[in-house]
Amino acid sequence: MLQHSLDSCALVTCTAGLTIPSVFTPHARASERFWEFFTVNIRNRNARQAYYHAVSQFARWCEVRVIHDLATVRPMQVAAHIEHRLVTASKPTVKQQLAAIRALFDWVVVGQAMEMNPAASVRDPKYSVRKGKTLSGNRLASCWIASTPESLSESVTGPSSPS
């Protein structure tokens, strides 16, 4: 009994102050899956807040464009939202936001509140960190020269004196 009341407190803490976006409200099952996604599926509080923020931004974007029903959301609309976000946010941020939207829609589809995930086919912005991974031609040559047997023995014993 005590464990059940502790679990209920954790659930209330997770969802305190959060509201469900209107695009999820027309369908009771989608509303339920929305809350389950944020309370059951995501354990990390920071990830939960970031994902909620991303999904809320997408829902507001939908509302402005008069998309009020989850069933009418299409991949083209998700892609347009992602393009819109790239204007004001960095690629890594937008990539995380798309991941949040995809994950939520996956959760809703698995719960049979939607037929398909409209974000599944949307390509994310490509971003990779390459700085410091490869050496340029000049730097590579200087490293190669520094690793010759003569330079290695000098680094251990010191420069040899002329006799």
Give the range of the structural domain holding residue 22, as residue numbers without chain letter.
2-110
- Whether 69 maps to a domain, the answer reads yes
Does residue 145 belong to any structural domain of this protein? no
pTM for the model stands at: 0.68
User: What is the rounded average pLDDT of the residues 150-157?
Assistant: 55
Which residue's structure tokens are 């989850």? 70
Residues 50, 97: Cα–Cα separation, whole Å: 8
The CA distance from 83 to 121, in Å, is 14
Domain tally, the chain: 1
The answer to whether residue 28 is domain-embedded is yes
82-129 pLDDT, tens digit each: 999 999 999 999 999 999 999 999 999 999 999 999 999 999 888 777
pLDDT value of position 27: 86
- Within a domain: residue 162? no
Q: pLDDT by residue (tens digit) across 34-74?
A: 999 999 999 999 999 999 999 999 999 999 999 998 889 99
Identify whether 20 is part of a domain.
Answer: yes
d(CA 20, CA 86): 25
